[in-house]
Structures are given as C-alpha cells and as structure tokens.
C-alpha cells in the first residue's frame, strides 16, 4: 500500500485463472508503455490495419469489415444487435446461459419480436432442435453464443447456421470467450456477424472488443433506411475511420490498441492451430486433476466443453466461496464463482493464453490441493 509520502500504485500480482479478465500476455503489457500518438498518425493507422489482419486470422474470415471497437465485449454485442437487429424484425435466440440472456435483453430493447429457445445451462443445441426452432419462427436474424462463459459449454454453431441459411436468415455469434483459444472459424461455420473481446482468449487487457461482418450482412446494413439507435457503435460511421479517408468518429486508446496488436502477434507467431492445441492439452490436464479431486463437471458431454474454461461443482462439504478466498489469500490465484442460477454452486477455472501450459496447470492444481 502507498504510504503518506509515496503515492505510487502497486497492484498485486495475481494469477488470473478465471474466465476473464485473464493474466495478460507479457508482450501486450510492454507494448502499452509505447508513446501515445494522434488518432490519424500513420503509425496508428498501420497498427490498426495490422490488428484488422490479425483479427481476420483468429476469426477465420476474409471479411473486409473486421474492426476493433472501443468497448468491452458487451459493447461489441451491442454493436452487433444495434446494427443488425431492426425494430419490427423477428429475432430468434438460442439461450443456455447468462450471456445468451444478455443478448436477448439487448434485442428486446431494439423493439424486435424476440423468440427464445431455452435449454438447461451446461447443454448445447442439437441440429434437430436448431432446425425445428428456426423453421417454426421464420426469423430474419438468429443468434447464439459459441462459448457460454457462464456454463463452460461450447457450441460450434454449424447446426444453427445450416438451419438459418435455409431461410436466408442472418446469423449473429457471440465469440467473446472462444476467440484466440479454440476454433471459431466464422467463414467455415457460416456466421454473418461475430464479435469478441480483448481480455479472454486473446489475453490482453479489457477495454477493446472486435467485430467481423460478412459482405452479405454489410450490404444489408447499407440498405437499412433508418439509422441505428446507437451513434457510438454505428458501424457505418466507424468504418469511415478505419478506411480512407479515416474520418474522426471517436478517440481510440492507442495503448490498448498496441496491446491488442501484440496479443495478436503472439497468436500469429505460435500459429493458431498450435495455440488451440495448447489450450486443449491444458484443459485435459486440468480436468483430469479436478476429477481426481472429486470436482464434478457442469458440462456432461466432454465434446461440448470449452478448452480454456473448466466449470465444476466442488466436492461435497467444500464451500466454493471459502475455497476461492483461500486461493487468493494464500496463493494469489483468482478463479471465478458461478453467475445467475449457478451463483454459489460452481467454480469457473480458466486456463487462457500464458496460463495454458503444463507448468501453470500443475501450479494451479497443487495450490488447489493445498486449499482443500
């Protein structure tokens, strides 16, 4: 703590084994100390272009309209809904956790006709369920969450996009947690609008997000007659800053952009497939250790589990709040509690970016054993 004559800040060094924010990639931290430049400085414009290229790679897309946004993941969610879900349209959403409920709440505020297909938390939707719901509701826009951070469930989205394509509906996918840690591949999956954030799979500080829009969705946006309600997240205005003539829209934060640039460079140097594999491997090691300690997985089917976020119920007699507090006090480790209906019931343990290694999983498991 600072004393009376020393007002410097000293943040504790925690290992963030949660669902995000996660431990920041060291190179991203270093990059944030670089000088701030003006918003149309050629250097910043180049950084921005390189970020856009890096984002296309992690999203698995050729979409020209791929940008970082000055907002956390929820801001990108709001941009997706605000630009592509119009008043009076039919919007169909698959809900199986806290974040799909958030998407639904945002769509309701757009004056859209919302249809929901609900599933128990921890489960994902089958092809038959996706087909039935979409055929029954005939929506203009369909949305789902690829990585449900509240439950640990992973839905590739292929079943949903296939059904949506049959009726020519636009598909919005929340890739906030999956991006940078597991297969997202929006072009192959057939997603039209995908969004994510900086502080999860990409292991950068929070404060930025990303959005990628297919040519088809972009055309629909151009044809939209009324302006979106959101000015700050109006993608047509934002695009004029990213592309020539780089018209001022709002002031971005260069240090955060530098960090994201380096976070993406680290992904590129390791190779996306190698990075996914490293996360899968860490996940298997962590899950095996947790099962041995009698934790019970929330997501029953191992194929439906996120590779970088283990969600478990603690063994009988173990108080999850006390366990989390001890991990922080005695080992400087943070893990997360459950959200919504899982509050007080589960633990969410992330192994993302620099934490997804054999040594770090070993370190975590021995700290956990010591606390039990």
Ligand X SMILES: *Cc1c(COP(=O)(O)O)cnc(C)c1O
CB of 174 to ligand X, least distance (A): 5
Please say whether the beta carbons of 76 and 211 come within 8 A: yes
The answer to whether residue 149 forms part of the interface with ligand X (CB under 6 A) is yes
Restricting to residues 93-122, name those near ligand X by CB under 6 A.
99
State whether the Cα torsion 13-14-15-19 is positive or negative: negative
The answer to whether residue 78 forms part of the interface with ligand X (CB under 6 A) is no
The answer to whether residue 174 forms part of the interface with ligand X (CB under 6 A) is yes
The answer to whether residue 81 forms part of the interface with ligand X (CB under 6 A) is no
Restricting to residues 197-226, name those near ligand X by CB under 6 A.
197, 206
Pick the closer one to ligand X by CB: 161 or 198. 198
Which single residue brings its beta carbon nearest to ligand X?
Answer: 73
User: Residue 44's CB: how many other CB atoms inside 10 A?
Assistant: 18
CB of 77 to ligand X, least distance (A): 6
Q: Which stretch binds ligand X (CB under 6 A): 73-81, 119-127, 152-160, 257-265?
A: 73-81
- From candidates 29, 37, 64, 74, binder to ligand X by CB under 6 A: 74
The answer to whether residue 156 forms part of the interface with ligand X (CB under 6 A) is no
- From candidates 15, 16, 17, 20, binder to ligand X by CB under 6 A: 20
Q: Which stretch binds ligand X (CB under 6 A): 62-70, 145-153, 313-321, 343-351?
A: 145-153
Interface positions with ligand X (CB under 6 A) = 20, 72-74, 77, 99, 145, 147, 149, 174, 176-177, 197, 206
């Amino acid at each position: 703590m600072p004393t009376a004559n020393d007002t410097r800040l000293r943040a504790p060094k925690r290992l963030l084994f949660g669902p995000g924010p996660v431990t920041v990639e060291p190179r991203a931290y270093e990059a944030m100390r670089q000088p701030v430049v003006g918003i149309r400085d050629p250097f910043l414009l180049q950084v921005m272009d390189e970020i856009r290229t890096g984002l296309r790679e992690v999203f698995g897309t050729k979409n020209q309209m791929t940008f970082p946004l000055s907002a956390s993941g929820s801001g990108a969610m709001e941009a997706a809904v605000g630009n592509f879900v119009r008043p009076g349209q039919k919007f169909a959403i698959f809900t199986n956790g806290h974040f799909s409920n958030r998407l639904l709440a945002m769509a309701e505020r757009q004056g859209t006709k919302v249809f929901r297909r609900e599933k128990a938390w921890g489960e994902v939707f089958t092809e038959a369920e996706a087909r039935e719901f979409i055929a029954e509701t005939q929506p203009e826009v369909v949305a789902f969450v690829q990585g449900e951070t509240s439950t640990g469930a992973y839905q590739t989205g292929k079943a949903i996009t296939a059904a949506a394509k049959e009726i020519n509906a636009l598909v919005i996918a929340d890739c906030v947690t999956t991006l940078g840690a597991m297969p997202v591949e929006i072009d192959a999956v057939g997603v039209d609008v995908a969004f994510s954030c900086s502080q999860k799979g990409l292991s950068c500080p929070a404060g930025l997000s990303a959005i990628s829009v297919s040519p088809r969705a972009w055309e629909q946006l151009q044809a939209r007659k009324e302006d979106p309600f959101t000015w700050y997240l109006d993608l047509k205005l934002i695009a004029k800053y990213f592309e020539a003539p780089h018209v001022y829209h709002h002031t971005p934060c260069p240090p955060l952009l530098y960090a994201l640039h380096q976070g993406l460079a680290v992904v590129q140097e390791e190779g996306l497939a190698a990075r996914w594999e490293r996360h899968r491997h860490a996940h298997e090691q962590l899950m095996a250790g947790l099962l041995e300690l009698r934790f019970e997985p929330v997501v029953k089917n191992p194929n439906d589990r996120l590779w970088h976020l283990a969600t478990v119920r603690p063994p009988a007699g173990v108080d999850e709040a006390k366990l989390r507090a001890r991990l922080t006090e005695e080992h400087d480790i943070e893990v997360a509690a459950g959200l919504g209906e899982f509050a007080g019931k589960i633990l969410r343990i992330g192994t993302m970016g620099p934490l997804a290694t054999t040594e770090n999983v070993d370190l975590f498991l021995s700290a956990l054993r010591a606390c039990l």
